[in-house]
């Protein structure tokens, strides 16, 4: 990685084709996957490789809130607008965005809407690979697919239309390792208000004939499918599981406790993740002390026995949900049949990444 890579990124933002929001969505999605530190990312042959399905999932979440805002693409209709609107209409009386996200991540898309969902994700895959991936970098390299490359994969039969289906059936894409490293270092800035999201909002304001404001667009673009209700539901499930265990010990101190908070290992403010594996009981004072800090590798190693104890407890009581969540978040391509070592190693690696690369404050445990 050198300064030229950063100059290239600036040039892409300023000069590459921007007749739609696709370029911004592609860059935002790539950066989000890198910042998520997805276990599916593989670096080989001087390129970083990602499942295209993970990017399709990001686009679903980006564009879902915008489907009901017709002004945004008045002059340039989204290629996947039809099936996306049908999905939004289906969920309108079934819980909306959060219900769709829960089905995608856990339950699977209901059978009656599966053909429409399959049409949507196929159109998303075609749009991503034939439009922004093709054109990004042309102002620099003078050729198509100068930065992004796409490889088709073999389709795998599945009984569930969910996030795992996307990962397993839509091939992979890759970017040069220099860009991957640049996005690791500056991705949060590039994805911030001064760059991709801000320019996305500016473009949408112009496309609406200035009937929208940048603030309105940003409010829609930044909507999260994870609501306060989702947080409370996950914590309620976890408390119910703990009640069957009889005795609760603070994960960060080992103390037996009567009162406890449900702590996110990786703070919710950093990663909006309410997976059950990411929720652990902690003394209220320690939870307050930890707040938005990231547990260090040393602390995680020291608390390994309790962390895996609670993971086993969750696995026993909520097997299907636990397996789906931990597969996508921590295991990647590793088999669920032997998940303990791989999941624990990825948890440590993710926390190290957040501390050393992203710059978040580490936490070594209780202190007076």
What secondary structure does DSSP assign to 52-109, as a single string? HHHHHHHHHHHHGGGTT-GGGGSSS--TTHHHHHHHHHHHTTTTHHHHHHHIIIII--
What would the two tokens of residue 364 be? 């070594």
Residues pairing with 264 in the sheet = 279
Under 8 Å between Cβ of 347 and 275: no
Is the pTM for the entire model greater than 0.95? no
Q: What three-state secondary structure class fits 146? A: coil
Per the document, the length of the chain is: 368
pLDDT tops 60 at residue 301: yes
Under 8 Å between Cβ of 59 and 29: yes
Highest mean pLDDT among 28-37, 159-168, 226-235: 28-37
pLDDT tops 60 at residue 211: yes
pLDDT in tens, 68-99: 776 554 545 789 999 999 999 999 999 999 99
Instruction: List alpha helices for the chain, DSSP H.
Output: 3-15, 22-35, 52-63, 81-91, 96-102, 114-130, 132-135, 138-141, 163-169, 177-190, 196-207, 214-221, 228-245, 284-290, 297-302, 304-317, 319-326, 340-356
Backbone angles phi, psi at 295, to 5 degrees: -65, 135
CA distances from 71 to 80, 205, 213, 269 (A): 16, 9, 11, 31
Amino acid 33: pLDDT? 95
Query: What is the average pLDDT across 22-42?
Result: 93
Per-domain residue ranges for the chain? 3-221, 228-363
Please, is 319 exposed, middle or buried when counting C-beta atoms within 10 Å of its C-beta (0-12, 13-18, 19+)?
Answer: exposed
Which has the higher per-residue pLDDT, 361 or 104? 104
From 64-78, 123-137, 321-335, the region with the lowest mean pLDDT: 64-78
Half-sphere exposure of 41 (CA within 13 A, CB side): 24
Q: What letter does residue 327 receive in the DSSP assignment?
A: I
d(CA 105, CA 97): 12
């Amino acid at each position: 990685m050198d300064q030229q890579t950063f100059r290239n990124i600036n040039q892409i933002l300023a000069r590459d084709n921007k007749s739609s929001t696709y370029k911004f969505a592609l860059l935002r999605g790539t950066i989000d996957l890198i910042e998520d530190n997805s276990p599916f990312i593989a670096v080989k042959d001087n390129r970083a490789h990602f499942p295209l399905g993970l990017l399709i999932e990001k686009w679903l979440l980006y564009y879902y809130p915008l489907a009901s805002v017709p002004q945004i693409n008045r002059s340039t209709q989204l290629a996947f607008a039809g099936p996306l609107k049908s999905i939004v209409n289906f969920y309108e009386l079934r819980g909306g965005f959060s219900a769709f996200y829960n089905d995608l991540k856990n339950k699977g898309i209901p059978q009656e809407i599966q053909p429409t969902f399959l049409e949507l994700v196929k159109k998303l895959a075609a749009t991503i690979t034939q439009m922004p991936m093709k054109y990004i970098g042309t102002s620099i390299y003078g050729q198509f697919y100068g930065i992004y490359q796409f490889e088709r994969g073999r389709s795998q039969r599945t009984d569930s239309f969910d996030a795992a289906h996307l990962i397993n059936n839509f091939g992979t894409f890759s970017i040069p390792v220099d860009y991957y490293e640049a996005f690791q270092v500056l991705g949060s800035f590039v994805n911030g208000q001064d760059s991709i999201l801000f320019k996305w909002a500016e473009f949408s304001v112009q496309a609406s004939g200035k009937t929208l404001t940048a603030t309105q667009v940003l409010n829609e673009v930044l909507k999260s499918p994870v609501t306060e209700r989702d947080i409370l539901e996950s914590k309620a499930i976890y408390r119910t599981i703990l009640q069957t265990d009889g005795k609760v010990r603070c994960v960060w101190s080992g103390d037996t406790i009567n009162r406890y908070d449900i702590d996110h290992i990786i703070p919710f403010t950093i990663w909006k993740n309410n997976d059950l594996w990411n929720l652990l009981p902690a003394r209220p004072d320690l939870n307050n002390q930890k707040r938005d800090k990231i547990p260090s590798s040393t602390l995680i190693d020291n608390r390994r026995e309790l962390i895996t104890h609670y993971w086993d407890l969750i696995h026993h009581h909520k097997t299907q949900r636990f397996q789906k969540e931990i597969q996508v978040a921590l295991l990647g391509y590793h088999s669920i049949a032997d998940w303990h070592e791989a999941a624990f190693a990825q948890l440590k690696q993710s926390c190290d990444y957040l501390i050393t690369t992203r710059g978040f404050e580490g936490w070594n445990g209780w202190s007076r």
